[in-house]
């Protein structure tokens, strides 16, 4: 998840100066249209695609492991907050010893 935020910030950091430079030769009446389209195409949609790939890749860990029902599991980052490690389908950091039910 951190990588998604990181690359989103990188894309924003690149897009701002590009749009700033583009104001020099762009007609103002197209400014808002180009701004909205470029923010969607360069920032929002790639972040959404990255998030979908992240969810697909980690779906089994999020829903089908012992950690998925543990209160120490943060499913947004797919991490055990107690051990600060990423559980996998075949790897439970605590081996089930520190499992505590959610809620």
Residues that bind ligand SF4 (CB under 6 A): 66-67, 70, 72-73, 80, 82-83, 87, 92-94, 98-99
Between 16 and 66, whose beta carbon lies closer to ligand SF4? 66
CB of 76 to ligand SF4, least distance (A): 13
CB of 99 to ligand SF4, least distance (A): 4
Strand partners, 73: 80
CB of 78 to ligand SF4, least distance (A): 10
Q: Smallest Cα–Cα separation from 97: which of 72, 61, 60?
A: 72
Helix/strand/coil for 101? strand
> According to DSSP H, which parts of the chain are helical?
2-22, 31-38, 45-64
């Amino acid at each position: 998840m951190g990588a998604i935020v990181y690359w989103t910030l990188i894309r924003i950091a690149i897009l701002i100066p590009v749009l700033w430079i583009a104001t020099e030769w762009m007609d103002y009446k197209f400014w808002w249209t180009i701004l909205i389209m470029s923010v969607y195409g360069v920032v929002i949609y790639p972040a959404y695609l990255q998030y979908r790939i992240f969810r697909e890749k980690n779906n089994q860990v999020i829903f089908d492991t012992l950690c998925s029902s543990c209160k120490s599991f943060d499913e947004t980052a797919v991490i055990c907050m107690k051990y600060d490690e990423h559980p996998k389908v075949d790897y439970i950091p605590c081996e089930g010893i520190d499992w505590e039910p959610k809620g």
